[in-house]
Amino acid sequence: HVDQQALIRQAAVARNERRIAPDGQNLIPVLHTLYAEDREFKRSVDSAMRAAFGKEFEELVFPPAADQRIQLRLRWRSLKTAQSAADLSDGTIRFLLLLAIFLSPKPGDLIAVDEPEVGLHPKMFPIVAEFAAEASRRTQVVVTTHSPQFLDAFSNNVPTTSVMEWLDGETRLSVVDAEELQRWLREYTLGALFRSGELEGMV
């Protein structure tokens, strides 16, 4: 949940956390810990934010709040004061959440994200796809999507592709033949194959 009342937007207790919880609501402590202590994490987050928002983005800051809590704020070149998490768009919060998940230096045994493209601007898709592919070198990553545009974002890192179908009252998961998929990808994008229904014909 990223609505205005969600914990993900509110000041949080300043504690050492390095992995996003399943509900995502501990985003601020995780960002605070890793952004301050892990140079590679900070570099990657800053790079991703500038890829999405251009030179307008400067950095994340975590000013103190009451009761040993910290806030999340974003510094923008054109704004005199940093923008609080409460005022960020849903898409920006979701984007930061996905970055924190995929850039985790010590992820769990499995990262599973349902429809990561929801609420994001399409220009963010290639950034998310790149970091999802990078995370798959450290752990197993499973992403589900109904978006041809998001599938096209994996043009340089074609993932193992599976098709889910509802047949005879049950969900069936079938892996697309990798060699056949590579032949099709010489002429079409993964998103185009999804739109045309050709992916289902490869299983």
| Residue 122 structure tokens | 């399409």
Q: Residue 18 in contact with residue 108, Cβ under 8 Å? A: no
Q: Give the model's confidence band at 201: pLDDT under 50 very low, under 70 low, under 90 confident, else very high.
A: confident
Give 85-140 pLDDT, tens digit per residue: 999 999 999 999 999 999 999 999 999 999 999 999 999 999 999 999 999 999 99
Q: Give the model's confidence band at 72: pLDDT under 50 very low, under 70 low, under 90 confident, else very high.
A: very high
Burial of 76 (0-12, 13-18, 19+ CB in 10 A): middle
pLDDT at 1 over 90: no
Q: What's the confidence (pLDDT) of residue 165?
A: 86
Q: What is the mean pLDDT of the chain?
A: 94
Q: What's the confidence (pLDDT) of residue 2?
A: 92
The alpha carbons of the chain give a radius of gyration, in whole angstroms, of: 19
Give 41-62 pLDDT, tens digit per residue: 999 999 999 999 999 999 999 9
Q: Residue 32 in contact with residue 76, Cβ under 8 Å? A: no
**Which residues pair with residue 150 across a beta bridge?**
none
Q: Give the model's confidence band at 158: pLDDT under 50 very low, under 70 low, under 90 confident, else very high.
A: confident
Q: What's the confidence (pLDDT) of residue 70?
A: 96
Cα of 58 vs its chain's centroid, Å? 20
Q: Determine the average pLDDT of the residues in 13-28.
A: 94
